[in-house]
Every structure is written in C-alpha cells, then in structure tokens.
Structure 1
C-alpha cells in the first residue's frame, strides 16, 4: 500500500500491486475525485499509450489534449489516428498555439527552436497548455522517476505551481522495461520512431535518436543544455 498525504487533504492510500505499481489505483482515485475536471496532456510516446490503455479501464470517455505545435513528426499524427481507432470513446483535443509556424517566423525570425528554444517552447507548448488547464481542476502526466534526474522526486499527486493546478502522475514507479512489457503484452499501437532509436519524441527539429540508453532523453535538444520543454519545470 502506498500512502500519499497531499497539502490539503487527509492521507490517500493507493494499492501498489505488482502489475500496475499503483497506477490503476491512482487513476481510479483521480477520476473519482475530479471526474471530467481531469484532463490528460499526452505526447503520444509509449508512456502515453500505456497510460491511455490504463485510463481506458477507468474512464472510456476521458479527455485527452495533444499540444499540436505544428512541428511534430508525421508519424506522431499517424499514432494519434491509431489511438483514436483503438479507443473511440476518448475525447482527443488538438490544441494549437496562437501563432502558426510561419507567423512565428515572421515575428521572431526563422528557426526559433534554434535561436531561442525556450521561447519557442513557451509559445508552442507552455502557453497552450496553460490555456487548456485553466478550464480544468487537475491534469494527468506520464512522468516516470526513471526518466531523468529532474523527475526523480515526482509524486503520484503534485502541487503544480507553474500551472496553478494539480498534476497526477500514475507511472512514477514504472521502468522503461515495465512500459514495454505492458505494451507488448497488450499489443498496443505505438509510435514507429521508437523502433528507430527514439525513446523520447517531441517536435521534429528538437528530437534526435538517443545517443545512450542510460539517458532516454539524450536525444532531446541535442547539443544544448536544455533538457525540458518547460511543462514539467
């Protein structure tokens, strides 16, 4: 049993079974507590697919938001279509930034992801998510503690100061092997670039194959000190 004491509620106890490492228990609590005021912000990587399969066991008409930056791989959109076919009840929203890629170039210059990557992420990811979350009480994320040093202290339920919200992370105890073991067992659709050395997939200009599997995010913003898009900082 895993007990979590939030900042404003009594102790919440989650069942930590061998199959789901607390994830299903957390999802049942979250949807029971927030209902339609809970939204899942998904990038449609393998963690996202696994989490959506678990969500489907709890709420088949869950609300999913995808931050459609206009800079994603075509395979990402193909994966979204596969997910829609697998889970027809999900309400998948494609949230776009205020500026198109072309309008952004006119205002800030070409290839902003190279000249000012933090600003690019702010315009195309952070601000759209903030706008989305303003209509909900809490959001789900597929963060895992194993992913990076900055995520090692992630809890099941987190006070999200950045977005003035509650961030629920059901997969914090899952390993990369757990994720793929589950995906294989349940024959889940997944992003084809995972088979080409991309464990973490974001926008096309800022995503490369990982150069070491000891750091699954090593292919993100390759050559820069940047390690996060700003959603989880």
Structure 2
C-alpha cells in the first residue's frame, strides 16, 4: 500500500493504525509512505518510547531520527541524548539554529529577551526551533512525532495520522491515543533511558529557560512559557488546522 502524500492516504493510514500496537503502527507508516520519513525527538518520555521501537525493530533504515538542538536545552536532556545513543548504538542527528539568524536575534532581544512579550518569545522559537525543523523536514514524505491528545486541550483532537498542509507531508502521531500512564508503563517495562527531570515534576521538557515543574493539578504543558497567560502553549512546530479544533469543540459540546 503506497499512500503517497494525499489527505485520503493519511486517513487510510490512521484507520489502519487504530487497532495496532506501537511497533506495528510505526511499521505501517514506514511501509505505507513512499519517501523519506523523519522522526523529531526532544528526548521526552514519548520520544524515548518511539526511539526504542524504531531502533529495536530496525525501522531506522526507513525513519531518520533528528533532534533540534536549540542551544538552550537542560543538561539532563543532553545526558539522556548521550545515554540513548550508547544504549542503542546509533547516532541521532542534530539540527541547530542558523548562526546568522541566532546572532541577530540575540543582538536584537538580548539573551533572555524572549520574556519581554509573546511576540518576542515566538521569534525566539522561530529561530531556534521552527526554521531548523523546516530544514530537517525538507523533502520528507512523512513526519513522526510524539504528540498525544492528553497533553493539552490544544492537542486534544490530534489524530494518529493526518495530512500536514504546511509541510506538505503526512504527519504520524503513533501515541495520539496513549495516556501518560500507558507511556510510563511502557518506558518502565522496557527499561528505556529517560530524562530524570520527569521524576522532578517536569512532564513536558523544552528549553531550560522556558520550562518549569508543574504544580499539582496543572496540565502537562503548564510549565512551558509559564509567564504567558495564553491557553495555547505551543512554539509553532505543531499547528493544528482550525477545522480540527472546531470539530473537536463541537464534539465536546454534543
């Protein structure tokens, strides 16, 4: 089955993935999509589970592993990156911000200027994450992510697979319907290396200056850009089409 990159193909893949286990979901994606697949990992629990399956099943022949090294990650994140490469005997490719863009950003904002406004923060995310992601996905037919519907209200409608019109590829979210309990159990049962910050109240880990531990009862992503009052805590990497958000809101009201 060759799904190409059309929306109908993404829907067919999502249906095929529904009742499959995680290894088979990833195998289905690698078999079904003609062309290069890229998995972007930030070394969180979700990404570590996916990395484990990709390497153990030999799917890295078809799925390229990439991380966006923003230059402002936690030391613990770099440590788990090294531990992961040692555990599986593979390298994970790093994509870094464009030097000229980064130097211009810091000259304009100052080193922590992203805290001055939402616009300044998004400009920082654009330089450190969004533009490098565009380079990582250039020419790819599929993009594997660790998105889960449970992570936030903004992600509640995330499907197992969908056409991403922005990057013109199929976006695959094999953990979309997993709970955090499912994820913790899987990582524990398989003794997968993980970031110790998860045990210190950090369910979602990004750049160090932009991430804090969450408080009891807060959503998983409440610790990201916590000084902002926006409900939507996103950096711009994952943009859900408006129609999907509206459909989900209607379903919740029904």
**2:167, 2:237 → 1: CA distance?**
9
Cα offsets for 1:89-130 (capped at 9, x unmatched):
4x4111001137555311443313212101110111011101
Which residue is equivalent to 1:113? 114
Which residue is equivalent to 1:59? 59
TM-score, reference length from structure 1: 0.88
**2:174, 2:17 → 1: CA distance?**
10
**1:177, 1:31 → 2: CA distance?**
26
Provide structure 2 residue ranges, at least 5 long, that are not aligned to the other structure: 1-5, 240-254
Q: Note the C-alpha offset of 1:156.
A: 1.1
Once the two structures are superposed, the pairs formed by residues 163-202 of structure 1 within 5 Å of their partners are 163-202=167-206
Provide structure 1 residue ranges, at least 5 long, that are not aligned to the other structure: 1-5
Aligned residues: 223
Q: Are 2:226 and 1:218 aligned?
A: no
**1:8, 1:117 → 2: CA distance?**
36
Query: Which aligned runs of 4 or more in structure 1 are off by greater than 4 angstroms?
Result: 100-103
Which residue is equivalent to 1:27? 26
Q: Note the C-alpha offset of 1:173.
A: 1.0
Cα offsets for 1:11-66 (capped at 9, x unmatched):
3423625xx3xx32321111112366001011101111011112222514441111
Alpha-carbon contact 1:145-1:173 (below 8 Å) kept: yes
Which residue is equivalent to 1:97? 97
Q: Note the C-alpha offset of 1:230.
A: 0.7
Higher helix share: 2
Which residue is equivalent to 2:233? 227
Alpha-carbon contact 2:70-2:97 (below 8 Å) kept: yes
Alpha-carbon contact 2:163-2:170 (below 8 Å) kept: yes
Which residue is equivalent to 2:76? 75
**2:139, 2:217 → 1: CA distance?**
37
Q: Are 2:136 and 1:135 aligned?
A: no
